[in-house]
Amino acid sequence: MTPLESAARSLCDTLDPMRFAAPVSHVYNPLDYAWAPNALYLQRFGQGKKKVIFVGMNPGPFGMVQTGVPFGEIAAVRDWMGIEAAVTKPAVENPKRPIEGFACPRSEVSGRRLWGLFAERFGSAEAFFADHFVANYCPLAFFDNGRNLTPDKLPAAEQGPLLAACDAHLRRVAEALEPDWVIGVGAWAEQRAREALGGMPVKFGRVLHPSPASPAANRGWREAATKQLVALGVWD
């Protein structure tokens, strides 16, 4: 088992007994039911030193929730990364957000934008992952029935143990990959990375979140993110 697989299994075991009160109706942990494609992702792309780690917030309902891969737009994972594996079901499935794995017909817009930029700039997945990696800070997806809830909206008493576990996991990822840069995808992810990795010899920055809920992202996310990364000195 690779260092990142070991870290992910440990995080999964730590998070598994955690419980969340209303309005959370369902919690999905793709490190559990979508472990097979997640393990392939970590084995194939999560080894060796990286220059840059991009850190997302938590899984989207049509991305990592379905494929086990961060920002896991199905076409990007299956066709660009060459990853496809069996996905089972969580113990309690949300009828408003069924798990269909790689058969899910919906598109994860954030993932399509993120991986689309990387594919356009680097060509192959192998070329991108030679110096880059993409991780999610929190692997859990939270739902209020059909509505997606983000971890920053949880009450402080529930956030505390969750953030502690996710901080520890991100440190293990950074220790294994020894990045020069850690880039938050969105402000919250950057803030969490700065707190989790305080004292480590890494530089921090962020890019605009590619969510379709963001008017700025809808006005040209690819150009905006590229401009931010060039301004930081992450990309030429």
Query: What pLDDT was estimated at residue 202?
Result: 98
The closest alpha carbon to 64, from 46, 52, 51, 76, belongs to: 76
pTM here is 0.97
Query: What pLDDT was estimated at residue 10?
Result: 98
Counting Cβ atoms within 10 Å, is residue 29 exposed (0-12), middle (13-18) or buried (19+)? buried
CA distance 214 to 209: 7
Please list the ranges in the chain whose pLDDT falls under 70.
Answer: none
CA distance 62 to 106: 6
Query: What pLDDT was estimated at residue 73?
Result: 97
Query: What pLDDT was estimated at residue 48?
Result: 96
Alpha carbon separation from 71 to 1, 77, 137, 200, 206 (Å, rounded): 23, 9, 12, 26, 16
Note whether 124 and 142 are within 8 A (CB). Answer: no
Query: What pLDDT was estimated at residue 176?
Result: 98
The closest alpha carbon to 193, from 218, 166, 217, 175, belongs to: 166
Rg (CA), the chain: 16
pLDDT tens per residue, range 22-57: 999 999 999 999 999 999 999 999 999 999 999 999
Query: What pLDDT was estimated at residue 200?
Result: 97
CA distance 42 to 35: 10
CA 82, distance to chain mean position in Å, is 18
Query: What pLDDT was estimated at residue 30?
Result: 98
Indicate the DSSP class of residue 132.
Answer: E
pLDDT tens per residue, range 165-177: 999 999 999 999 9
